[in-house]
Amino acid sequence: MRIAIVDYDAGNIRSVERGLAFVGRPGRITSDPGEIEAADAIVLPGVGAFEACMRHVAPLVDVLRERIDAGIPFLGICLGMQMLYEASEEGGLVEGLGIVPGRVTRFDGSLKVPHMGWNSLDVRRDHPLLKDIPGGSFVYFVHSYRAGVDGNTVASTDYGGAFTAIAANDAGNAVGTQFHPEKSGIIGLRMLKNFAAMI
């Protein structure tokens, strides 16, 4: 089993690597398109600004889209989830990977940002990522932008209104978490194990 953890100069890569290793599914940090193309699954972590991260990931966009279209499991974490969408308003209007329809927008100006802390999940539909994870489970968020709730929402949470906490493409193989599973205790580790089981 080869899990590629995409390295594109964004933060939080090592904690994702440690989380996968802890559940017995070690990943390999790489920015090599050939390694990503050969992987059985791909993880796209992300901490930072949307525009800068899309610029850094630009050389890998084609191989990421091709592998997702081929049906291999893909997990986007935090900004990695937002990058699955068509666009984000962070840094102007910046094009994303276009795997999930919709646009990422900033939280309402009356809310304190970043939204930071533990929120519970409202599960809206089944997905393998949530196997043996009860609705209402708490996970850890740190972000200032969010995606609205729509047909691609697997689970939502609430901060000044409902927003997407987990999104998936129509095929279900590409899934993203707005929260950090690698920082969400036993629930998050269970999700990483469930992701590996999708291979």
Render pLDDT for 31-84 as a digit per residue (tens, 0 to 9). Answer: 999 999 999 999 999 888 899 999 999 999 999 999 999 999 999 999 999 999
pLDDT of residue 36: 96
- DSSP-based three-state secondary structure for 91: coil
Domain limits, the chain? 3-197
Domain 3-197, architecture per CATH: 3-Layer(aba) Sandwich (3.40)
Per-residue confidence band for 114, with pLDDT thresholds at 50, 70 and 90: very high
Average pLDDT over the chain reads: 95
**Residues taking part in catalysis:** 78, 180, 182
Residue 10 in this model has a pLDDT that exceeds 80:
no
Q: Token digits for 141?
A: 């968020």
Collect all residues with Cβ–Cβ distance below 8 Å to 23 and sequence separation of at least 6: 189, 192, 193, 196
Burial 127-149 (b: 16+ CB within 10 A, else e): bebbeebeeebbbbbebebbbeb
pLDDT of residue 123: 97
pTM of whole model > 0.85? yes
**Overall average pLDDT of the 93-104 stretch:** 97
Q: Token digits for 32?
A: 């090599």
What is the biggest distance separating any 2 CA atoms in the chain, rounded to whole angstroms? 46
User: Residue ranges of the alpha helices (H) in the chain?
Assistant: 13-22, 33-38, 50-57, 61-69, 79-82, 185-197
pLDDT of residue 11: 67
